[in-house]
Chains A and B, each alone.
Chain A
Amino acid sequence: MIKNIDYKFLRGKVTLISGPSGAGKSTLINIISGIISPSEGNILLLGNNLHSNFNKVKSYISCVWNEPSLFSNMSVINNLRFFSYLRGQNIKEIDIKVNDILQSFEIIHDKNKFISNLSQGTKRKVDLCRALINNSEILLLDEPSSFLDNKSKKTLVKILGKYKEEGKSIIIVSHHASLYSNLIDVVIIMKNGKIIYNQPLENLIKNTKEFKNAFILKTSNRLLANDILRTLPEIEDTYLSQKSVHVYLKEGDGDLSSIINSLGSKGLKIKKIISKEPNLDKLIGELINAH
């Protein structure tokens, strides 16, 4: 159940919706796609009231739900053809597009198989093809990467990148935000049916300690390095991972050379210094816990 949501999704942007299970993310997608009617309030899509103009608005939306939505006793190619026909796509172009997208996800050899005979992962790929092939203005994706192998995840991100370049609006519901970190413009976090956080991605990263003055250090002795670093005045915090030390500097005290010198003077060899990349999943997890 979701309540009191008053939000304007930005056109041409990629919005990520995250949150714990049962937060209302999938319900929100179902409402935006017109599958569920809200008990109160309105939804406007590209200036049209979703429920009073549903037939018109339908042509703007493509959606992937958490379960594949395909004809189980129809072949892959006919499923894709059917939904493309409904969208009024050019009949000559449909088969070319179908073949192209099936090749992108490396399932071209399955095109004549019935959906009921496919694995969960392949069904998910076909379902993604169904939504992506239509070139709709608004793309709603509920956990699109579930059941996908790593290669297909990369393909998905690449295709979504092209969509973004074309100015399409994309709303992604996912627990794996880091997969889409290069695409996301806005992050929304939901909890108990409400939006508890709503900021552009750069704000989320900028305002978080994790990525300011932080780096990962690989040395000849990480335990000793950790002990030394904790005695230095410019260090705010450290923690040990399996092969390295994660180091957080105090605000404004970013003198890396003095830290390296301190470690060197104790006989430690610095193997690698890596700047900390944002781990969106971790960040979002922290935000959820904080609320």
Chain B
Amino acid sequence: MLINAFTLLTIKKIRNNLSFTLSTFTTILQPILWLSIFLYLREEHIILNLYNNQIRYIDFIVLGIFVWRTVSYILGKFPSSIKEDASAMRSIIISPGGEKILIWSSIIATFSIALIIGSSILLAAVLLYDFSIFLNHIIIAFLVFLLIIIIHFEIASIIVISHIHIKDMKSIGFITTTIFGLSAGVFFPVELFPPPFDNLAYVLPLTQGLTLMRELLLFPNFLPNMNLLFMLLSETIILFISAIILYKKNFKSYWLEKL
């Protein structure tokens, strides 16, 4: 029975998110925007010197944008995916399994759409470029990508449960994703940041994950920094425990304050 409730809610969430609104329109337009930037960069042939290796800037940025766009979607959409059901929150709270179904359907629905967005950006890039780089260490790279996604779901959950994300949801989502985008080395290599920001950037899990993915995919002969993988794993566990503790403590009171 719970699986039926879960399916019903998840389909509703995916359908609502894909319904033809202005935001859907801009989501569809985004890959075209990135495509035009890639086209420009291909003509420019910008080369970066990273870890004593030369790589094309286009390879550097496509990977960054693919991961960052997926992450920023999660940070913005997951809280609103839960918030859209605020009107039914009381019934959910007193229904057996209701809260779990709500959280999981929000995760799955957001994950599915994040995948659609990420894939469409990637597809736009693949249409123009040789993306054989994605075949290097693909399994470990995918594991790192999965950890990045899980960590950002956890961050989004903590934002939701800590009462932060409600009053100015769009602004906070925009600020968070911009800060993450700029300071996690999405557009520029972290190594080019002035000190101490070059080291500070590694506080962000997105920086750690993105650096690891780039090392794995762009420098197949280079031994990846296993400390980063260890940090990423530890953060996943710590954030998971924090999210659970906060959820147990705050979930009901959080919704009641809003209702």
A associates with B: yes
Instruction: Give residues of chain B (1-58) contacting chain A, Cβ–Cβ below 8 Å.
Output: 1-2, 4-5, 8-9, 12, 16
In whole angstroms, what is the CA distance A71 to B9 when docked? 9
With contacts A36-B256, A82-B5 taken as known, whether A68 is within 8 angstroms of B87 at the C-beta atoms is yes
Q: Is B90 an interface residue, CB under 8 A from the partner?
A: yes
CA distance A89 to B96 in the complex (A): 12
- The 0/1 profile, CB within 8 Å of A marked 1, for residues 86-113 of chain B is 0111110111111001000000000000
Residues of A within 8 A of B94 (CB): 33-35, 58, 61-63
Nearest chain-A residue to B97 (Cβ)? A86
Chain B residues with CB below 8 A from A239, complex form = none
- Residue from B5, B9, B91, B101 in contact with A130 in the complex, judged by beta carbons closer than 8 Å: B91
- Interface majority SS (helix, strand, loop, mixed), chain B: helix
Residues of B contacting A68 with CB < 8 Å?
A: 87
Q: B191 near A: Cβ within 8 Å?
A: no
- Closest A residue by C-beta to B6: A85
Instruction: Report how far A142 CA is from B85 CA in the complex, Å.
Output: 21
CB-CB under 8 A from B16, the residues of chain A are: 73
Contact B90 A86 (CB under 8 A): no
Nearest B residue to A55, CB-CB: B96
Decide: A73 and B12 in contact? CB cutoff 8 A.
yes
Q: How many residues of B contact A (CB 8 A)?
A: 25
Task: Flag if A85 contacts B91 (CB, 8 Å).
Answer: no
A35 near B88 with CB under 8 A, answer: no
CA distance A73 to B11 in the complex (A): 12
Q: Report if A58-B95 is in contact (Cβ < 8 Å); known contacts: A74-B12, A82-B8, A91-B1.
A: yes
Q: Which residues of A contact B256 (CB under 8 A)?
A: 30, 35-36
**Contacting B96 at CB < 8 Å: which of A70, A81, A86?**
A86
* Chain B residues in 8 Å Cβ range of A83: 91, 95
CA A139 to CA B89, docked complex, whole Å? 18
B19 closest partner in A (C-beta) = A73
Known: A34-B93, A89-B1. A71 touches B98 (CB 8 A): no
Are A78 and B8 in contact, with the CB atoms below 8 A?
Answer: yes
CB distance from B209 to the nearest CB of A (A): 33
Check B259 for interface membership: any CB of A closer than 8 A: yes
Tell yes or no: A65 within 8 A of B by CB. yes
Q: Number of A interface residues at 8 Å Cβ cutoff, please give it.
A: 34
Tell me if B170 counts as interface (CB < 8 A to partner A).
no
In this complex, what residue of B is CB-closest to A123? B87
What residues on B are CB-neighbors of A130 within 8 Å? 91
Q: Which of B88, B91, B97 has the largest count of A CB atoms less than 10 A from its CB?
A: B91
B228 to chain A, nearest CB (A): 40
- Are A86 and B88 in touch, CB under 8 angstroms? no
B204 to chain A, nearest CB (A): 34
**Contact of B8 with A73 in the complex, beta carbons under 8 Å:** no
In the bound complex, CA of A67 to CA of B87 (Å): 9
The proximity string for A residues 55-99 relative to B, scoring 1 for CB distances below 8 Å and 0 otherwise, is: 100110111010111111110001101110111110100000000
Q: Which residue on chain B has the smallest CB distance to residue A73?
A: B16
Who on chain B is nearest to A72 by CB?
Answer: B87
Q: Which residues of A contact B85 (CB under 8 A)?
A: 71
Hey, which chain B residues are within 8 Å of A37, CB to CB?
A: 252
Expressed in whole angstroms, the minimum distance between the Cβ of A22 and any Cβ of chain B is 18
A30: chain B residues within 8 A (beta carbon): 256
Q: Do A87 and B4 touch (CB < 8 A)?
A: no
Task: Chain A residues near B9: list those with CB within 8 A.
Answer: 71, 82
**Which one, B12, B96, B259, contacts A88 given CB within 8 A?**
B96
Residue in B closest to A79 when the chains form the complex, CB atoms: B88
Is the CB–CB distance between A85 and B84 below 8 Å?
no
Chain B min CB distance to A24 (Å): 16
**Known: A35-B252, A35-B256, A91-B1. Is A71-B96 also a contact (CB below 8 A)?**
no
Interface residues as binary, A92-135 with B (CB distance below 8 Å gives 1, 0 otherwise):
00000000000000000000000100000000000000100000
Chain A interface (Cβ within 8 Å of chain B)?
Answer: 30, 33-37, 55, 58-59, 61-63, 65, 67-74, 78-79, 81-83, 85-89, 91, 115, 130
